[in-house]
Amino acid sequence: HRRLPAVIPTPPVSASPFPNPKSQYCCLSRNFSAALTPLLPVQLPSRMETHLWYVVPDEVKSAPLLSKYMELLPQSERDHVLGFRGDQLQKSALLARTLVRTTIARYQVDGHLDPRSLRFKRNIHGKPEVEWETKDGFCPPPLQFNISHTSSLVACGVTMNSLIGIDVEEKRRRTKNNILAFAKRYFTAHEVEHLNAIPDSELQQQEFIKLWTLKEAYVKALGKGFSSSPFNTFTIRVNTAAQESFCASSGIAVETLDSPQNLTNNWQFALLELMGSHYVAICLERQETGGAGKAFPIKLTARKTIPSVEDELVSGTNAVVTIGGSVTQF
């Protein structure tokens, strides 16, 4: 990601929440007697739905608010946030942890709503999961989530039951290396061909970013770590009449090299353009198919949020444009 020149304005009374990356996080709560506004509950996604939540770091300018977010985190996560170099990186790391905690808490899975009490663990491959308290025969719901962030966008996808991977990237992200050289080294031959066929360098750059986010989303959905699915072992195929670039009707599928003739039907993809500035790739485990192996479209609800402050339903607006995959926005 590229760091945008965002500045946290110095508030009149209190110090920046990030006084010094190395300093012990100091107790700023003495300045802010009010706790965060209680979170509003939200309904769990149905089995066929995907919820997308996102925060725009540049819109979260209040240092007191950021301090309160910090208070939601256990010490280990605070240390992790403070380990990033610089305010910008720390802020997006903080917002990522805050978004995932507050969002999951709002679903009130275990009856209460406290983002502080959530525990997270990693599966054997390192994929983060919620560690639900097992008490009194409480059966944890199959809530699945995945987070992705850049300095300019923090996003969290949530489903009930479907494995999910998401990846976000700025549209204008440029690689330092030549795209085709990079693709030849890390992508598959088909993908190199796909990129090579695009004459305009600007469009080619964008196609590269789209492919990258889709590939990342797939590996994150698999949840087995990047080394189990190196990028050159699977191809992202785009099915369009034009075959040149993504368009709204394009089907996206993944084909693994070890079974080239069988498109892997287990996974479905969505590619979105968010706020005209970012690509968001979503990969979901297919739950049910329609007739003849066709998948139902992804039912997507997208909300822009500032945790504990406001939500805005943005699906179906200009803010969220489907540019690939079969998606219905609600």
Partner 1 sequence: MAAASASSFTSLKSRPAPGLATIAAVKSGAPLSFSFRRPVPAVSRLRISCAAKPETVEKVAKIVKKQLALPAETPVTGDSKFAALGADSLDTVEIVMGLEEEFHISVEEDSAQSIATVQDAADLIEELVQKK
Considering the complex, state which of residue 175 and residue 264 has its C-beta at the smaller distance from partner 1: 175
Helix/strand/coil for 22: coil
Cα–Cα distance, 38 to 167 (Å, whole number) = 29
Contacts of 82 (CB under 8 A, 6+ apart): 18, 21, 22, 25, 90
How many residues sit in the footprint of partner 1 (CB under 8 A)? 26
Task: Kindly state the smallest distance separating residue 17's Cβ from partner 1, in Å.
Answer: 18
Considering the complex, state which of residue 77 and residue 306 has its C-beta at the smaller distance from partner 1: 77
Tell whether residue 125 is a contact of partner 1 (CB under 8 A): no
What binding mask, one character per residue, do residues 21-50 give for partner 1 by CB under 8 A, x or -?
A: ------------------------------
Q: Binding partner 1 by CB under 8 A: which of 32, 120, 226, 296?
A: 226
Q: Binding partner 1 by CB under 8 A: which of 23, 176, 291, 293?
A: 176
Return contacts of 232-235, CB within 8 angstroms, 24+ apart.
232/186, 232/187, 232/188, 232/257, 233/188, 233/257, 233/258, 234/188, 235/188, 235/190, 235/191
How is residue 15 annotated by DSSP? P
Tell which residue, 318, 308, 321, has the closest CA to residue 41.
308
Considering the complex, state which of residue 130 and residue 217 has its C-beta at the smaller distance from partner 1: 217
Considering the complex, state which of residue 178 and residue 201 has its C-beta at the smaller distance from partner 1: 178
Stretch that binds partner 1, among 7-15, 182-190, 195-203, 285-293 (CB under 8 A): 182-190
Tell which residue, 138, 155, 139, 137, has the closest CA to residue 147.
155
**Cα–Cα separations (whole angstroms), residue 55 to 154, 190, 192, 270:** 5, 35, 33, 19
Q: Binding partner 1 by CB under 8 A: which of 32, 120, 186, 296?
A: 186
Cα–Cα distance, 194 to 188 (Å, whole number) = 10
Furthest CA-CA distance within the chain: 64
Contacts of 256 (CB under 8 A, 6+ apart): 233, 234, 235, 264
Considering the complex, state which of residue 152 and residue 322 has its C-beta at the smaller distance from partner 1: 152
Considering the complex, state which of residue 45 and residue 57 has its C-beta at the smaller distance from partner 1: 57
Tell whether residue 6 is a contact of partner 1 (CB under 8 A): no
Please count the other Cβ atoms lying within 10 Å of the Cβ belonging to residue 207: 22
Please count the other Cβ atoms lying within 10 Å of the Cβ belonging to residue 188: 21
Tell whether residue 121 is a contact of partner 1 (CB under 8 A): no
Stretch that binds partner 1, among 103-111, 221-229, 236-244, 305-313 (CB under 8 A): 221-229
Tell whether residue 75 is a contact of partner 1 (CB under 8 A): no
Q: Binding partner 1 by CB under 8 A: which of 32, 132, 182, 296?
A: 182
Q: Binding partner 1 by CB under 8 A: which of 54, 69, 212, 267?
A: 212
137-166: contacts with partner 1 (CB under 8 A): 150-151
What is the token pair recorded at 13?
A: 């009374």
Q: Binding partner 1 by CB under 8 A: which of 24, 31, 177, 249?
A: 177
In what helix (H) or strand (E) does residue 277 lie, and over which residues does it extend? none
Binding residues for partner 1, per CB under 8 A?
A: 1-3, 83-86, 89, 150-151, 169, 173, 175-177, 182, 185-186, 212, 216, 225-227, 230-232
